[in-house]
Amino acid sequence: MLDYNSLDEAAKNDFNKQLSDCAQAIGGKNYFLQLVESIRNTRPHPLMAKKAKFHFSQGTVKWQKVIYKDKIHLLIKLINEDRSAGNLMPQKGDAGFKTVLNLLRTLGPMKFEVKPKNNKDGDGFVLHPFDRIDAQTTHLNYMFNAVFFLPMPVVKKALTGFGKKKKRS
């Protein structure tokens, strides 16, 4: 799980900029927060939708194929575990190596398209679940994590830029 408070100022600013850009692409911060909140309030998890689509009040999130319950639960488990430096890729020979590798191969190439209901609100944006660094290193994408898994207060804090030091004149 991303610990927002442990990020340095540059990483916080980058995360804030990415969130702000995505928010503007679907109509603003309010619409973005409505998306995140509706995902948090939907049970079962929206990624398990049988039609690979999730509707929220201001738009739609679509992806290529159905993701099964066991994959979502494994992903949530990996996010919640304290992995060294955020690497999701286990070492060869570790318990569950093959299941985690299959998860990364299944979700890795997928694209999640977020589109607003009204075209005037913006063009939407595309999320990728993972950032593959090399053959042994794969990280969860910050934006994918923010949209689907991070707690609402953390997303709000990152989006609004709380914690920025005010300059005194």
Q: Which pLDDT score, from 0 to 100, does residue 168 have? A: 46
Instruction: Decide if pLDDT at 83 tops 60.
Output: no
More reliable by pLDDT, 111 or 78: 111
Summarize the confidence of residues 66-95 as an average pLDDT: 82
pLDDT, tens digit, 9 for 90 and up, residues 127-167: 999 988 887 888 889 899 999 999 999 899 888 875 545 44
Domain residue spans in the chain?
8-150
Instruction: Decide if pLDDT at 91 tops 50.
Output: yes
Q: Which pLDDT score, from 0 to 100, does residue 82 have? A: 59
CA distance 162 to 40: 21
Q: Which pLDDT score, from 0 to 100, does residue 35 have? A: 95
Split at pLDDT 50, 70, 90, the class of 92 is: confident
Instruction: Decide if pLDDT at 85 tops 60.
Output: no
Q: Which pLDDT score, from 0 to 100, does residue 11 have? A: 85
What pTM did the predictor assign? 0.86
pLDDT, tens digit, 9 for 90 and up, residues 20-78: 999 999 999 999 999 999 999 999 999 999 999 999 999 999 999 999 999 999 998 88
Summarize the confidence of residues 102-131 as an average pLDDT: 92
